[in-house]
Structure 1
Amino acid sequence: MLPVIVLFLVFRSFTLIKYDMLTVSNRDSTQKEPLQSIVKPTFNVSWENNSTYQITFTAYSDNSIGYALLVSENIITWQGQQFVIKQSVPNYSGRYNTVAITATHIYLDVRKIFQHNKKDGTLTYSISDVLSFYLSNNSFGYSFDVKGNFAKKQITDLGGNNAFDGLSQIISTWPDAYIYPDNKKIVVYDKANFATNLGNRLGYGYNSDNVAITYDSTSIINQLTVISTKKDDGSVYFQPHVVKDDDSIAKYGVWDGGDFSDERFHDVQAADEAAKEKFIVEPSISVSLDYLDSDEPVTGEIRRLEILDTGFVTNVMVVAYSYYPLDDTQKTSLTLNSNAKTVLDYQRSNRNALNQAKNLNKDLAISVKNTSDKINVITTDGIWYDYRGGAK
């Protein structure tokens, strides 16, 4: 499990997006109109890696064709990306008519594609194999691409469900994959190809304030017992045995995750490696802060996080956001995910702070002792003196 960092951003300023970047059209795109009746503070764009991608807003009745098109299954286009209206909730109050809209990215409609065929048994697949199985020759215009290197893995009983379930299968089988769409083109990235470093940073006292860090060790697993599946004759491929992460145990003690068994693995080394993939050897870190710049969230952006007061410096990546591009008074939230190095960076800064505290306490103890020696001086004639030289 990777450390997760959540940030709450405050925009200082924002140049409004031109309305020609925000349109509404009917389902077959034969009619397309600008959308100008949005209540600006309600317009929200949110995305979470391998999960959600949607826009929500409220519009008021301005008797326009654009407003009339705000019904389910019509399409909102925002910055070139299409979102399909899934919820349209009219409200009539005080002769002021509005409609609340929730529209999800069109790639999520890939669930329209149903793969009736099913490949029984446990077989080996690449990500391209899975995507091709679900999406090749579909009648809805969806395509796919894979950017990065992924090892082939085994999947049991693939198919018999829709293409969105196929994407979910990819995420569960290759948890290091990032799915990000360009309208109906679904692209699967590895981290090297998904991440983008634009040279930006998050600095406490520079463009961030109110920083809070949560350090959570409740999910650590650093030991498992590997158990073999049985052969047809009832015997086993290997004997039960313990695998562990010695470095994690040395730092945090033993955290046993119980038994691990997987019928795919008959080789003890392969089974051990699969078990170790279940380890969570470091605590997670979450960081919340107020961000004071005005830049727009960028999916997969790598940022340098700096809390120079403690020496905590690490890199984090944007894996989710929620922001209000038409209202510069509302906070934007980002979720940043990093690798285990974030924890190591934090531990290093914590050790530095601890050593500084120890040195300060040592210096303070010496100072107190010296002061005490000067104050509590009794001469042989029984007269008290303080260090300022005055007699009591």
Structure 2
Amino acid sequence: MTLRYRVLLVIQLLLVFHLSILTSQVVTVMKRDGTLNEPLQSLIKPTFNVSWENNSTYQITFTAYSDNSIAYALLVSENIITWQGQQFVIKQSVPNYSGRYNTVAITATHIYLDVRKIFQHNKKDGTLTYSVSDVLSFYLSNNSFGYSFDVKGNFAKKQITDLGGNNAFDGLSQIISTWPEAYIYPDNKKIVVYDKDSFATNLGNRLGYGYNSDNVAITYDSTSIINQLTVISTKKDDGSVYFQPHVVKDDTSISEYGVWDGGDFSDEIFHDVSAADTAAKAKFVTEPAISITLDYLDTDVPIPGEVRRLEILDTGFVTNVMVMSYSYYPLDQTQKPSITLNSNAKTVLDFQRSNKQQLNQAKQNSAALAKAINDASAKLNVISQDGIWYKYGGEDVTTD
């Protein structure tokens, strides 16, 4: 390979690289039927916001000004915005006319949310056992809208009562309520359900208060604690029971937070008392939830499910957390992303540990302050045998 050829190759690679960067920053708007697809030149960049929340919302919002272009004319409901390869369907288009300066405010949701177009008229009556894949297949197989699905990770089969008779988005909601550990994340019309191990991605990055994050708010919420349940057996055909009602509890959680009774637990698939108790304990929420929201001072794109080491060194709070939602302005680096991080048992334990460190430090400071006050008081009230009162910090005063 000649030197000239190598130089040309490097130049070509650099051009491809820069073109890919520029292309990834282009916002396009397409007619719903795909007949027109235009770059949106009139986008007001500081207004362009991308927000995502796990198993909840995924949308973009922005404002554009009228430039009499085809792209601007396409900013109407149900047309499609494309950003970094992902499609978002315009759901709200709000024109504004002021001072001869015409604009339109757009809200577009990710195209996977339009899965509600698919309606499953069939209904599987009764309580049956399903896998996550079974539920997805029931709603999405052979649909006419181009949606597909995949499952990453391992999920135990669970029972669902009266599945169907609603749309496919309700089916996704059913998955979340039945398997709370599931994470739904789409790639356009491909809907992927992950377990936590499959969704979490640790890239070795960290979040440090005062380093690359600011305005850190920690919400410590104990309203969902359940540490005690009464396990009740289903009845046999003759009316008898497999085992007697009894209470299962988590003593560690109770000693820390008191008794939080979740009521009765009963499931007809359990005839063995040990299996029933194990299933009941799986319903426990033994620790308060922690949600951490912060402003991110770097400009890299937030990654859903990314695991980072969070450090608040002022308090000794160091733990691993996962990105569960974000809001950022990719076309305006002066506006910093806002990130919400997950709660898990280890995060709670790390938070408690840092609280105990602060409490111990406060106790030490309090003890030191009390000692200093006692020492000062002793100095202020010393009377010598010759009748002299030594006034601490001032001149001696002679008494008669």
Q: TM-score, length-normalised on structure 1?
A: 0.88
Counterpart of 2:359 in structure 1 is: 354
> Are 2:117 and 1:112 equivalent residues in the alignment?
yes
User: Is the 8 Å Cα contact of residues 87 and 111 (structure 2) preserved in structure 1?
Assistant: yes
Q: Residue 200 of structure 2 corresponds to which residue in structure 1?
A: 195
In the aligned structure 2, how far is the partner of 1:21 from the partner of 1:372? Answer: 72
Q: Structure 1 CA distance, aligned partners of 2:30 and 2:24? A: 14
Report the counterpart of residue 297 of structure 2 in structure 1. 292
1:321 has 2:326 as partner: yes
Query: Could you tell me which amino acid in structure 1 is paired with residue 266 of structure 2?
Result: S
Q: Pick from 18, 23, 27: which aligns with 1:22?
A: 27
Counterpart position of 1:255: 260
Correspondence for 1:50: 55
Alpha-carbon offset, residue 387 of structure 1:
6.2
**Correspondence 1:266-285 to 2 at 5 A:** 266-285=271-290
Per-residue deviation, 1:244: 0.9
* Shift, 1:21, TM fit: 2.9
- Kept in 2, the 8 Å contact 1:19–1:34? The answer is no
Secondary structure, counterpart of 1:133 in structure 2: helix
Task: Indicate the structure whose relative CO is greater, using CA pairs within 8 Å and at least 6 residues apart.
Answer: 1
* Superposition map of 1:1-392 within 5 A: 18=23, 21-386=26-391, 391-392=396-397
3-state SS, counterpart of residue 241 of structure 2: coil
In the aligned structure 1, how far is the partner of 2:149 from the partner of 2:202? 25
| Partner Cα separation in structure 2 for residue 125 and residue 259 of structure 1 | 23
Question: Residue type matched to 1:273 in 2?
Answer: T
- Contact 1:302–1:318 under 8 Å retained in 2: yes
Higher helix fraction: Structure 1 or Structure 2?
Answer: 2
CA distance in 1, matches of 2:53, 2:76: 25
Matched residue type, 1:335: T
- Asked if structure 2 preserves the Cα contact closer than 8 Å seen for 1:19 and 1:36, the reply is no
CA contact (8 A) 2:291 2:342 kept: no
The SS at the match of 1:85 is: strand
* Residues 302 and 20 of structure 1, relative CA distance in 2, 3 Å threshold: closer
- SS state at 1:378 partner: coil
Please identify the structure whose Cα radius of gyration is greater. 2
1:116-157 Cα shifts (integer Å, max 9, x gaps):
222222222211122122222222211111111111112222
Q: Quick one: structure 1 residues 278 and 145, their matched pair in 2 at CA, closer, same or farther if it must change by over 3 Å?
A: same
Counterpart residue type for residue 329 of structure 2: Y
SS for the counterpart of 2:298 is coil
Bigger Cα displacement from structure 2, 159-168 vs 91-100: 91-100
Matches of 2:225 and 2:164, distance apart in 1: 34
Which region of structure 1 is more displaced relative to structure 2, 158-167 or 79-88?
Answer: 158-167
The one-letter amino acid paired with 2:255 is A
- After superposition, the Cα gap between the structure-2 partners of 1:159 and 1:335, relative to the gap in structure 1 and judged at 3 Å, is same
1:1-26 Cα deviation digits (max 9, x unpaired): xxxxxxxxxxxxxxx96586311111
Quote how far apart the aligned CAs of 1:114 are.
Answer: 2.0
| d(CA) in 2 for partners of 1:91, 1:387 | 74
Q: Give the count of matched residue pairs.
A: 377
Percent sequence identity is 83
Write the deviation string for residues 89-124 of structure 1: whole angstroms up to 9, x where unpaired: 233333332222221111111122222222222222
Q: Secondary structure of the equivalent of 1:296?
A: coil
- CA offsets, 1:47-77, max 9 Å, x none? 1111111112222221111111122221111
Secondary structure of the corresponding residue to residue 283 of structure 2: coil
Q: Is the 8 A contact 2:289 2:344 kept in 1?
A: no
Distance 1:388 1:266, change over 3 A: same
Q: Write out per-residue CA displacement over residues 290-344 of structure 1, whole angstroms, 9 at most, x where no aligned residue.
A: 3322222111111111111211101111111122222233343221113111110
Query: 1:127–1:152: 8 Å Cα contact kept in structure 2?
Result: yes
Distance 2:200 2:330 in 1: 23
One-letter code aligned to 1:195: A
Structure 1: stretches of 5+ with no match in the other structure: 1-15
CA contact (8 A) 1:117 1:160 kept: yes
In 1, are the aligned partners of 2:296 and 2:338 still within 8 Å (CA)?
no
One-letter code of the match for 1:298? I
Once the two structures are TM-superposed, the CA of residue 231 in structure 1 deviates from its matched residue by 4.1
Give yes or no for contact 1:113–1:163 (8 Å, CA) kept in 2.
yes
User: Helix, strand or coil: the match of 2:353?
Assistant: helix
What do the CA deviations read for 1:353-390 (whole angstroms, capped 9, x no partner)? 22222223333333443444444322233322356796
For the residues of structure 2 that align with 1:208 and 1:31, how far apart are their CA atoms?
42
1-structure distance, mates of 2:275, 2:156: 14
SS of the residue aligned with 1:109?
A: helix
